[in-house]
Structure 1
Amino acid sequence: MRILIVKLSSLGDVVHAMPAVQDIRHAHPEAEIDWVVERGFAPLVRRCDGVHRVIECELRRWRKTPLAPATRAAWTAFKRELQAQAYDAVIDLQGLTKSALVAWLARLTPSGRRFGLANQTEGSSFEAPARWVAHVAVSLPPHIHAVARSRQLCARVLGYLPPSSSSFGLLAQVNQAQSAIHSEASGDAAPLGQVALVHGTSRADKQWPLAHWQALGQRLNEAGYGVVLPHGSAAEEATSHEIASNLPNATVWPRLGLDALTDALAACAGVIGVDSGLSHMAVALDLPHVQIYNFDTAWRTGPTGPAGKAVASGQRRQCSVFAHPAPSLDAVWQVWLGISVVRQPV
């Protein structure tokens, strides 16, 4: 069986689709699974265990200059690669016009079918062409976690029950990361390892106060952890340096591609971060993690338990913490203490 997954973006959404791939592999070990994704996220999808071929597109860039010769050449090359293989099932996990277009362009076997969503779920985007293009459109409960959304769609399409537990299958090379990135930090000064503080997010209303990050870094240093600070933009880099400026053991990472970032995160003792793609990567890597929410949306995107339900403080080592306008420093710290003990030396 040849299956094509269409999930183009964004970083967190791509991570949330990975457990569906692992479910398919469990139910259909013989399946050959390809994935269409925006080029910027392709390095991460190549780390997803079980993905046979990653087909890159750049729809975000192409639509800015649709008639440019370079765009037309790139579009032609993309269609050629997409249609090089015929599929028994094309599954659109995104539910947007752009993903429906990709699904429509994909080539099917004589008995092949296109599958997609029939309805919008709370907090997610949905556009009608996704339903029109699909041979079979699947209705899902409107109140559903982002991970369960993809898992249930694939299960309904391919005729199996999702396992009670989930796995992301995100693979990392920890030894390489330790030597390449963590060598800058002092191991003697951080006997419990490094904790990544993921402060960057594309939405200002998801940010946590700078003073909280600085105070959290101080508590981590005093407890025996080093602090490392990833960033993805000039503004985030400046914030990273501001957080690190008064900490005795803090390292601002260089700008990293997704490959190196995956490896570097995997080598950390844990991650504390706002609702962002990097935080969702921490969950996928099964790291001790506190995910900070200024809005009550952890039920939809936060860490999930064995039954696919959002996990709150005190239930396991990957937890969300919510308060409005923002969780307090003490609230985040207490959750961290509750989950980090799992990884601390005896």
Structure 2
Amino acid sequence: MNKDIKRIAIVRLSALGDIVNSAVVLQFIHREYPHVKIEWITEEVFAPLLSNHPLIHSVHSVNLKKLKKERSFSALSKTVSHLKSLGPFDLIIDMQGLIKSSIVARLIGKNTHGFDKNSTREGLASLLYRTSSSIAYDENIVKRNSFVVADALGFTITDSMLLTKEKVFPSTEYKHTKKDKMSNIAIVIGASWESKKYPKEKIAFLTNELKQNSLIIWGNEDEKKDAEWICENSEFATLAPKLSLVELVSYIGSCDLLIGNDTGPTHMAWGQNIPSITLFGPTNERMIYENPKNIAIHSPSDVNIFKINKNDFSISEIEVKEITKKAMELLNGI
């Protein structure tokens, strides 16, 4: 342990699921360095999720997507000046390992740490780090995130620590309506790629098989239309309200179980210690920290994590009866 470390910056810009799987390290850093000030740099859209975290001293946001779209020199100059003004830091950890995140880290200061050139898909990013960590790219994403931070700070995050972790985000209880003593099951239907989505027809069938109160979570208007279709075709499905990221934490954290595709809101269940089933097609279990309470069901596809096939729609081949069986086992505490 380096007792001289008093202020660190974590760079993890996006996406939602990756931020959930990264923010788990906060409690472990605090355990080893109870007096350190942790500051987080993220994309503007995710800042509200992190801003009220009791273990984060400050959240600093950037809008790289807007910069890329508008190509404004003035806006770029302001962003660069803002990042340069944040220091000095004793240590800056880039948890993302991309060229854009390594540039952000280097603008903040010189004491940068990240993945080495063989541990990330954009190896050039490593040129901007003062020190680096080596871990296989195809290793579990939560273990990768935990390792790069712990390695930088000189301690170890074990499987036992991850299995007994506290909730990743603070939350309040969401008052779900109880229907005839049914369990409340959150069902996430959206994803960044169409091939990650489980067909809405099968979701409607699933909710009817479960015979529990299925809460259909949506994130945009297209997903809302699919969610409404599911509700129209299932007597057990209920449309979830429009939720902010902060509200989503409480909403999911107050459910009995979550079933969803490989996407951010699904990962939130693991973050909040809620039982979950993640359905995989073009991606695989590397994306979650699988344990007896948070499990994966995969399609028959043989996934190559180094060359993801976004046209792999095999998730539709997962049988509803298999999901139903696992869901009831989790609800019954098996």
TM over 0.5: yes
Q: How many residues align?
A: 311
Q: 1:6·1:99 contact (CA, 8 Å) conserved in 2?
A: yes
Listed one character per residue, the Cα deviations across residues 254-302 of structure 1 (whole Å, up to 9, x for unaligned) are 322101111111121111101111110111011111111124611x112
CA distance in 2, matches of 1:120, 1:57: 27
Q: 2:83·2:107 contact (CA, 8 Å) conserved in 1?
A: no
CA distance in 2, matches of 1:68, 1:257: 31
- Equivalent in 220, 243, 248 of residue 233 of structure 1: 220
CA distance in 2, matches of 1:43, 1:84: 19
- Equivalent in 11, 20, 36 of residue 15 of structure 1: 20
CA 1:317–1:192 in structure 2 vs 1: closer, same or farther (change >3 Å)?
farther
TM-score by length of structure 1 reads 0.83
- Equivalent in 33, 42, 58 of residue 53 of structure 1: 58
1:262-273 matches, within 5 Å, as 262-273=249-260
CA 1:229–1:82 in structure 2 vs 1: closer, same or farther (change >3 Å)?
farther
CA distance in 2, matches of 1:120, 1:215: 44
Q: Shift of residue 56 of structure 1?
A: 0.8
Residue 117 of structure 2 corresponds to 119
Q: Shift of residue 201 of structure 1?
A: 0.7
1:69-108 matches, within 5 Å, as 69=74, 71-72=75-76, 76=78, 79-80=81-82, 83-107=85-109
- 1:153 paired to 2:148: yes
Residue 3 of structure 2 corresponds to none
Secondary structure at 1:4's aligned position in 2?
strand
Amino acid at match of 2:206: L
Unaligned runs of 5+ in 2: 1-5, 301-313
Unaligned runs of 5+ in 1: 306-315
Q: 1:49·1:169 contact (CA, 8 Å) conserved in 2?
A: no
Q: Shift of residue 81 of structure 1?
A: 6.2
1:317-328 matches, within 5 Å, as 317-324=293-300, 325-326=314-315, 327-328=318-319
Amino acid at match of 1:268: C
- Equivalent in 194, 197, 200 of residue 207 of structure 1: 197
Amino acid at match of 1:216: L
Secondary structure at 1:244's aligned position in 2?
helix
Amino acid at match of 1:31: V
Aligned CA RMSD, in angstroms, stands at: 2.1
CA 1:21–1:65 in structure 2 vs 1: closer, same or farther (change >3 Å)?
same
Residue 307 of structure 2 corresponds to none
Secondary structure at 1:103's aligned position in 2?
helix
TM-score by length of structure 2 reads 0.86
